[in-house]
Structure 1
Amino acid sequence: MIKKLLRISGKVFERKYLLYTNVTLSFTISAVGDILEQQYEISQQTIEKWDKTRTNKMAISGIPIGIVCHLYYSFLDKRLPGRTLKVLIKKLFIDQFICSPICISTFLVTIACLEHASFNDFTKSLKTKLWRLYLADWVVWPPAQVINFYFLSPKFRVLYDNVISLGYDVYTSHVNYHNYDD
């Protein structure tokens, strides 16, 4: 059984299957993050029951994020190979100032499309949610990406990203489905 699992896991991380693996991971982790957030909201009595449609939207939002992350890490590792301090700093800079805003915007655009939001609702969403998510991103991702860029093999970057992202996805679900007055 263990040999079979190792063979399968080795196969899904082969280059020819890696995009599918990464998208599947992002889809799954986005759904699990929302389920955890909803379970917390149920326990706090802020919602009455699990909203399957909400979880489906969050899961679907993981598809374009998985694609973006896969392509981003592939590009980044080709353009900035190595594990020196100089390369690490460049990758962190690109990650925080380019990739993070792209990923957060991709998430918000995807959710707006899934919810058939008007342009005004979408721009309001950007104003209230983008900065909350981006500030949280600055707390979570720089330390996590030091480990990702310095210690891990490139083929495991999105897997690691998704493991860390589980907590971030819980917060993303919280931010996306709560109204803020500011």
Structure 2
Amino acid sequence: MFERIKFAWRTYQMLMIKHPWKLQILTSGGLVGLSDIVSQQLVERRGLTNHSLKRTAKMAAVGLIYVGPVLGVWYRLLDRLVVGQSKTAAFKKMLFDQLAVAPCFLAGFIAVTGFLGGLSREKIWLKFQVDYKSTLISNYAIWPAAQLLNFYFIPLEHRLAVVQLVALMWNTYLSWMANKT
């Protein structure tokens, strides 16, 4: 079992060198989709017979077309804006991330999931009005510490994957929030 994990990690590392952008986006899409499965099965307790594959595919698409590309570009830009790996640099990156990008990213997430879910503009706006503030507050309870550690300890090429692993439970919450009626 341990040998398989080592092999998978070496393969991931090799692909990260050859195709970093593609692999980061695919990883993000897969993990956002996995978060929806966790949401449907463990949080909502739908059971396998009531599992919505369409919803899981929609959430994976959100990871592929929104989460992965937006955060991938953001982390590269952030490393150019705040240079270095010091504690101070990590703290500045976390502040930029949480004060400038997190509110906008969350608003975009609500809009993208609503659009892919077939909601009208009016219903997306209503969902935004109902869910945005509480979700942003929840974000601030989790992400500043996680991002501080991410920016300090994790190399740029692995940040998106590490964030998505940490975000497995966060994305489960977002999937539930985005799909509740």
**For the superposition of Structure 1 and Structure 2, which TM-score range results when normalised by the shorter chain?**
0.7 to 0.9
Structure 2 SS opposite 1:68:
helix
**Distance apart, 1:99 and its partner CA:** 1.7
Aligned to 1:51: 52
Task: State the Cα deviation string for residues 29-88 of structure 1 (Å, max 9, x = none).
Answer: 111111111112453x69971111111111111121100110000111122121223322
Query: Pairwise CA RMSD of aligned residues?
Result: 2.2
TM-score (norm 2): 0.88
The runs of 4+ residues in structure 1 deviating greater than 3 Å are: 1-7, 45-48
Q: 2:32, 2:59 within 8 Å by CA — same for their partners in 1?
A: yes
**Distance apart, 1:110 and its partner CA:** 1.4
* Distance of 1:12 and 1:79 partners within structure 2: 27
In structure 2, runs of 5+ residues without a counterpart are none
Candidates 116, 119, 127, aligned match of 2:121: 119
Q: 2:29, 2:68 within 8 Å by CA — same for their partners in 1?
A: yes
- 1:81-160 to 2 correspondences below 5 Å: 81-160=83-162
Task: State the Cα deviation string for residues 145-166 of structure 1 (Å, max 9, x = none).
Answer: 1111111111110011011110
Percent identity, aligned pairs only?
23
Q: 2:28, 2:164 within 8 Å by CA — same for their partners in 1?
A: yes
Q: 1:26 to 1:5 in 2, by over 3 A?
A: closer
* Distance of 2:178 and 2:49 partners within structure 1: 18
Aligned to 1:170: 172
In structure 1, runs of 5+ residues without a counterpart are none
Q: Which has the higher helix share?
A: 2
Please say if 1:32 is aligned against 2:50: no
Q: 1:41, 1:47 within 8 Å by CA — same for their partners in 2?
A: no
